[in-house]
Structure 1
Amino acid sequence: MTDTVLAVLNQPSRDAAPHDPDADAYTWVEPLEEHLQVQDLGATRGDGVFETITVVDGHPQALEPHLARFGRSAAKLDLPAPDTDVWRQAVEAACARLDPVREAFVKTVMTRGVEGTDRPTGWVYAAPSPDSTRARTEGISVVLLDRGYRHDVERTSPWLLQGAKTLSYGINMAALREAVRRGADDALFVSTDGYVLEGTRANLVMRVGDRLVTPRTDVGILDGTTQADVFRFAEEQGMETAYELVTLDDLRAADALWLVSSVRQAAPVRAVDGEDRPVDAELTTRINDFLLARSV
């Protein structure tokens, strides 16, 4: 059975030399064998970017938005531009090679490469997704954590790389562990000046009456591919959507909350800092049905 798949790219970017001029665009390798050199800057410094793409019935969802964000993240790190055509081919081939399952994921990773070589390292990994049924149906609890930056940090301090999907996820994982220590499932970051930002691995979506609202993407958060599709669903249903500065008072006043992301999709928030929140089960089901049925 092929339940995990790994392809290593020979030339992740056309702006850098291939690892082997005579090799194919990518090579299938055994996922559990050793492939990464110990001096690769992705391992030693977290110097790289990644994307996680939902796969439903063998189809990679929102592939083009993910590849576009992959390129934007690389640009923010001054990495060579990913060769979108090669990455797309590798993703689609990995999906086809994986044993048929209802839900899977593909992760694309590009690092700066082995220090001193000026050749990026790239790979595509595919595997079945964990079961997210409970999070989608029963909801999740979150705690609010101070991120330690003002909401305008992306503009004032671009070197902090807020808004880029980098491999430097140590802070996000520490925040997730802190949430678990506090008896919650996840954390929701808040800026030092009181604006709600994003989850550790997800975007916030709120229902305010007949509107869906998410924090603006210029406040040092990642622009969400799943969130964009949730808004597409809402607009097709005649609902208004908006990107706004979201305060803690706005969060408390919302009629329903979700953390939305690839793999988990839309998880309703049932509690914030131990305080129960209303769950819109009917809308949650409709959103997740739409997300899982996407053809683009």
Structure 2
Amino acid sequence: MPDQVLRLQSILTARDHLLLQWLVDHGVFTTPQLAYALFPSLDFAQHRLTRLTTLRVVDRFRPFRPDGGSYPFHYVIDQLGVEVVAAQRGQPPPRPGQGKANRRRWTAARTFGHRLGVNGFFTDLVGHARTHPDHALTRWWPESRCAQPGAFTRPGSPGDPVDVLALATPIRPDGHGIWTAPTGQVPFFLEYDTGTEPLTELMRKLIGYARLTAAGGPRWPVLFWLHSAARARHLHQHLTGAPVPVPVATASRDQAVRTGPAGPLWHLHGRPGLLTLADLATTSPRGTEAEDGPASESRSA
């Protein structure tokens, strides 16, 4: 039987390979998300995604709306796509049925909408960078990568005491990225809020970031991507008078229709006015792991 992965090498483009890596690392995307991030037009994206579906490197489904009609196509990795990514990364071949298990996991997950929202935040940044060549999302880590032991610490020298953070990371952000602009780099942690948790729970999340910085971890901005401007105001009211150990910035999706998360939407706690994401570079100390830390599994280029 011909090696299908080898056969695909002459068919798949660099953009196709990046898309497959995103699906392996981040799970599920909609057609509009992928079109904005990677393609010159929605029509172009639809044609190429249909072709990739025919090649069986990706699979797709279309959820129904509760009030009638259906959502856009949602894309997940298929078995052959998993094999292509494993070969590209020099990993052992995946077990049979891994693609099917992945599809079932994402279509049935209770956090399905949350994951789509997180991925939409990052694809909006990639799409912005596509039309603004002086900007780039130079790192994009999913929640699972952030939770790995030692993800945000450097290994110690031989003979050093065991680094507690290397054994357990005290934070579980929904994602981590590095936004690069002419003014500098902005490494950040993302907390994607659906509005279902009490604000006290959002406040409690900052305890983990305080532990991370106290143990020598990076003091990067924590971005709360909130569902409404009213919720953002209430969160800042809770932050006032409370110890805030790391830079905290908020923005709301109901204010982001025209600019997306790269635009002047961010309210840095303790500072008046709105900032772009690139403006937050001034809150990040120089010389952190942002410039020479672990390599990203999912880059935007």
Task: Please confirm whether the aligned pair reaches a TM-score higher than 0.5, indicating the same fold.
Answer: no
Which structure has more helix as a fraction of its residues?
A: 2
Q: Which has the higher contact order (CA 8 A, sep 6+)?
A: 1
Normalization by structure 2: what TM-score?
A: 0.28
Q: Give the strand-richer structure, 1 or 2.
A: 1
Tell me the TM-score normalized by structure 1.
0.28
